[in-house]
Amino acid sequence: MTINKQLKLAERPGGTPNESTWTLEQNDMPSIEDDEILVKIHYVSLDPAMRGWMDDTKSYLPPVGIGDVMRALVVGEVTESKHDNFAVGTYVQGVGGVQQYVATDGKGWHEVDPSLAPLPMYLGVLGMTGMTAYFGLLDIGQPKAGETVLVSGAAGAVGAVVGQIAKIKGCRVVGIAGSEEKCQRLTGELGFDAAINYKTDNLYKAVREHCPKGVDVYFDNVGGEILDVALANLNFKGRIAICGAIASYNDRASIQGPKNYLSLLINRGRMEGFIVLDYAKKYQEAATQMAQWMMAGQLKEEHQIEEGIENFLPTFMKLFNGEKKGKLILKVAED
Ligand code: NAP
């Protein structure tokens, strides 16, 4: 009999997750009711936001409950269906959780086509990651040709796409990343105009040097000191898109407000947060545009696939320790 391996939240981590945070269970396969489908999950998306979903604090989604399957975006195949909209054999994307099978009523799920793009791409550039970059940059950042766009977490899944879209829009693009190798990839393969290594460069000096006309748009994936540096270099009517603050996700007690926030007043600037879920109705339009840019060779994607639900913890930690390239994905299906 097929079993379903499920990763459940065992306790809320005070800081960095560890072996006690989740338990791996082997349970019976779920059965489906009328108007439901059974999805065999192939790939799970690893996202920094998952760290926030584990905290019992007010947020844009309720926290994952203790004893519940860890929330995650997934792609997989419909293996049983009692639902008019989903046929057996189709591939779907949705919030399926860190497990091998899920029974669902299909709400919030949509079909994806593996003949158009490999399945992992529907978790990356054609999924939430790409949507975040697209709407965060274009709707919140509103870059114009000739302007300077500064991106932190630039070698990460979202940041790499943000920088490439900003280039397509005719901007000067400067990325901030955590190693020489990543910086070289940004300026080489991905076409950024300059890259700054936040672990070795003097940030204030480097941003001034590589953004000689100042920063018109700062896309913030990181928070902390880098946000302060961006504020210090913001131009008149500059925009800051607050996408995330990965530097503090495992250490919320250390968060301090930006010291240089008065730059917003002096420059009549705008700093605005956003949640990608608010753009759900426009995802299709964005995915079509992203696919066109990819086909035209203007947008490159990279993902790293780790194997085995048993390896969830070390894989998850790669989001925070820099040991990964591009979009991080865990293959949970056992063929
Ligand atoms: P990702 O692929 O893990 O990329 C994050 C990048 O941040 C990594 O490349 C990492 O590489 C860098 N980083 C990690 N810790 C850092 C630190 N302490 N200081 C500076 N850089 C650090 O994650 P992602 O999917 O691109 O997500 C990026 C951000 O977007 C996250 O903050 C996430 O929460 C946010 N997000 C927001 C939304 C939304 O709706 N607002 C949706 C999706 C994601 P290096 O340190 O090696 O450079």
pTM of the model: 0.96
* Amino acid making up residue 232: A
List, in sequence order, every beta strand (DSSP E) within the chain. Answer: 3-9, 22-28, 37-45, 73-81, 91-95, 101-104, 110-112, 148-151, 172-177, 194-197, 215-220, 234-242, 270-273, 303-307, 327-331
Q: Which of 134, 158, 183, 325 is the best mutation target for the ligand 1 pocket, counting ligand atoms within 8 Å of the beta carbon and taking the most?
A: 158
Q: Residue 71 to residues 33, 51, 55, 84: CA-CA distances in angstroms?
A: 22, 10, 12, 26
Q: Residue 46 to residues 12, 37, 156, 249, 320: CA-CA distances in angstroms?
A: 18, 24, 12, 14, 11
For 171-228, write each residue's pLDDT tens digit.
999 999 999 999 999 999 999 999 999 999 999 999 999 999 999 999 999 999 999 9
Give the distance (Å) from ligand 1 centre to CA of residue 290: 20
Whether residue 116 is predicted with pLDDT greater than 70 in this model: the reply is yes
Give the distance (Å) from ligand 1 centre to CA of residue 37: 33
Give the distance (Å) from ligand 1 centre to CA of residue 190: 17
Whether residue 105 is predicted with pLDDT greater than 70 in this model: the reply is yes
pLDDT (mean) for 118-144: 97
Bridge-based pairing state of the strands 3-9 and 22-28? antiparallel
* Closest residue CA from atom 27 of ligand 1: 158
CA distance 250 to 300: 30
Torsion sign across C-alpha atoms 173, 177, 180, 184? negative
pLDDT of residue 14: 87
Give the distance (Å) from ligand 1 centre to CA of residue 246: 5
CA distance 95 to 130: 16
Give the distance (Å) from ligand 1 centre to CA of residue 47: 8
Per-residue confidence band for 254, with pLDDT thresholds at 50, 70 and 90: confident
> Residues near ligand 1 with C-beta < 6 Å?
47-49, 128-129, 132, 153, 155-159, 177-179, 182, 198, 221-222, 243-247, 274-276, 319-320, 322, 328
* Closest residue CA from atom 32 of ligand 1: 244
* Closest residue CA from atom 16 of ligand 1: 247
CA distance 226 to 201: 12
3-state helix, strand, coil in the chain (%, to 5): 30, 25, 40
Which atom number of ligand 1 is nearest to the Cα of residue 177?
48
Give the distance (Å) from ligand 1 centre to CA of residue 253: 19
Q: Residue 24 to residues 7, 79, 158: CA-CA distances in angstroms?
A: 5, 23, 29
Q: How many H helices and E strands in the chain?
A: 9, 15
* Closest residue CA from atom 14 of ligand 1: 320
For 47-69, write each residue's pLDDT tens digit.
999 999 999 999 999 999 999 99
Q: Torsions phi, psi of 53, nearest 5?
A: -65, -15
Give the distance (Å) from ligand 1 centre to CA of residue 278: 19
Give the distance (Å) from ligand 1 centre to CA of residue 245: 7
